[in-house]
Amino acid sequence: MPTTTEPKPQVVPDEEECGAEGERCRNSQHDHGTAPHQTAHGGGLLDWEAERFRRATEALGLNAAVTCVLHCAARSVEVEIPLERDDGSLEVFTGYRVQHSMALGPAKGGIRYHPDVDAAEVTALARLMTWKTALADLPFGGAKGGVPCDPAKLSARELRSLTRQYTVGMLPVIGPDTDVLAPDLGTNSTVMGWVLRAATEAGKGDLRLVTGKPVILGGTAFRAKATGVGVAHVADLAYGHLGETLEGARVAVEGFGSVGRWAAVELADRGATIVAVADVTGAVYAENGLDLQGLIEWIGRGRRLVEFPGAETLAASVLTVPCDIVIPAAMEGTLDQGVATRLSARLVVEGANGPTTPDAEATLVDKGVAIVPDIVANAGGVISSYYEWVQNHQRMSWPETDERDLVLQRLETTWNLIAGTPAEAWRIQALTIAIGRVIDAMTAAGMLLPEMVGAS
């Protein structure tokens, strides 16, 4: 079979639900953290999420049976994807989809393409989506899916074929009122367009099936910016809550894809100074602030961030530079114990899902560092997805400014749910509220009886 010459779309994470920005750093000199499933702490994202969930359910006084019901996934599906490569060989991939909860509405969550995707990762991320959508008061549950592959090593034809087979394999369990898909790590609006086309060819096309689509196919103009702009907005709210102002505040951003980039741009527009950023190629630092627009143009010309002129190359984690605010928006587990001991910022705003390990969080709390948890900080993406879903229901397209205002208003409402508690309790407060809302929905639907909920 001849090799395709079709131009390949640039797969930069659109990050509706996640916040993660790209591949883990492969430079051994950059201690951006350890892999999420096998870490120096003896666990990974699945264990970290379970531990935080346990603390929240203990605070709520829930019995063991209800705790199990809340934590177990409603459905977990695997499909085998035989992919014919451009050289004529056959390679079989496994596709995953975990629907954790549909108590509040259709499951909602992204599809990620990354070599480290596995059942444990998508299970943990599906749970986080349940709590995120519940906390933001959205009529969605939580889901996540993915394929363990490296999209950089697949041609456009191969990626499209992989996506089509994944979509068709999952069609029996997904749908606009069952499980709504979205971009995540390693996928983008182009891939979501392929998802919609595959579903349409199978007779199940519906604009509401997938969010984060190209605008021409029913997506929204604000979608690509929503997570990053939302992270910046929450950072502004949280820093103000600490009695500070963004004007002149020094910010370091880990991850410079759609989330980190738009967070940096929005923070700079609000008066902050971006002193350091990192991506998969490495990290750069400028004591008096980076030329952000110049950096964006540099990368846009296909240059490596780490080679940007006029900036110092960092060997250590970007999160440890002298600054006031850090935005970990790369991958889970990058803010680990080693980074936490050297972190000097006053505020951490989690642009990625699960970037802070539990032992690192304990260290930061002891140091008086405030942490805005992921299910608050990066919820702008799924909130924007909700408004895209609504517009598709209405067969309408709203002005970008209207959607932006609605997203930021809902984010502020979500932030206010935790703002009245001490900073060290922000994560558990967010989780207890989210879990409580899921319990209320399950009780109202008769899935739980009120007398079943209390401690045994």
Residues 6+ apart with CB under 8 A from 291: 310
Active site residue 144: yes
- Residue whose entry in the numeric block shows the structure tokens 């100074």: 273
Which tokens in the block code for residue 267?
A: 């923070």
Alpha helices in 180-331 (DSSP H): 189-201, 223-241, 258-269, 292-300
Helix (H) or strand (E) holding 312: strand 312-314
Question: Hey, what amino acid is at 150?
Answer: D
Helix (H) or strand (E) holding 85: none
* Catalytic annotation, pick one of 108, 144, 213, 225: 144
Residue of 179, 220, 216, 223 whose CA lies nearest to 197:
216
Are 324 and 273 contacting, i.e. CB atoms less than 8 angstroms apart?
A: no
Residues 6+ apart with CB under 8 A from 98: 73, 75, 76, 77, 119, 122, 123, 125, 126, 143, 144, 145
Q: In whole angstroms, what is the distance from residue 220 CA to residue 260 CA?
A: 20
Catalytic site positions: 144
